[in-house]
Amino acid sequence: MIKTKKQGLLVVLSGPSGCGKNTVCDIAEEQNPNIWESISMTSRKPREGEVLNESYYFVTPSEFEKNIEEGKMLEYAKFAGNYYGTPRESVQKHLDEGKDVLLVIEIQGALQIKEKIPQAIFVFLLPPSMKELKRRLRMRNTETEEKVLERFETAYKEINELSKYNYVIVNDDAIKAANKLNAILEVERCRVDRIEDVFLDTEEERLHEQLVEKDLDNKPIELDTL
């Protein structure tokens, strides 16, 4: 009876470093084959093990700046002398194909997208506690204690942006958090403004119309005409 729009949903997921964003997204993709996780573009050199057009779209700094000038970036930022951002073309292509596009990006980039595409869905992922967040950061064993504390302090500032998002998920269990992310997609598909058309020419609708007519003029309904 209801025809929904073919256009996919754009979902922006943010959260402090160490809250498990990538793990939750990987599980959500396994659960839901309609999800496509956006690939970011960067001007830095590929690291060992990274694959072109899978890990990142790798470009030169001048190519990245040209994309910015031509309005081809949904969002971008510069960290440690390198550009990072989301190319508009690949995102739009998958949305037009009906794919739900998942962007895992920092809050700075998320707020840029909110200005351009306010109808996107913004989800904030939280750790179960700040104590657990600090433990997870230390468990990585990839950074100095000073860097861990720096990320921990940054997390407090990022959490203050929570009110600018539509949904919040506490990642106390990655599978449950992924389930909630997919549940959000299901709920969003049920919104009235995502309906393209409503079909009323059905057997049930014709029966309803005849029942209404019977109530109005008290005439019997001929069931063999249904």
Tell me the pLDDT of the chain (226 aa) as tens digits.
Answer: 556 667 899 999 999 888 999 999 999 999 999 999 999 999 999 988 888 888 899 999 999 999 999 999 999 998 888 999 999 999 999 999 999 999 999 998 999 999 999 999 999 999 998 888 888 888 877 778 888 788 888 888 889 999 999 999 999 999 999 999 999 999 998 888 777 655 556 566 666 666 666 655 555 545 454 3
| Coil, strand or helix at 206 | helix
Q: How far apart are CA 30 and CA 124, in angstroms?
A: 20
Could you tell me which of 115, 133, 117 has the C-alpha nearest to residue 125? 133
The answer to whether 36 and 101 have CB atoms below 8 angstroms apart is yes
DSSP helix/strand/coil, 141: coil
Q: Where do the domains of the chain lie, and which CATH numbers do they carry?
A: 2-38+100-225 (3.40.50.300)
- Which token pair is 120? 């996107």
In this structure, what are the phi and psi dihedrals at residue 225, rounded to the nearest 5 degrees? -90, -5
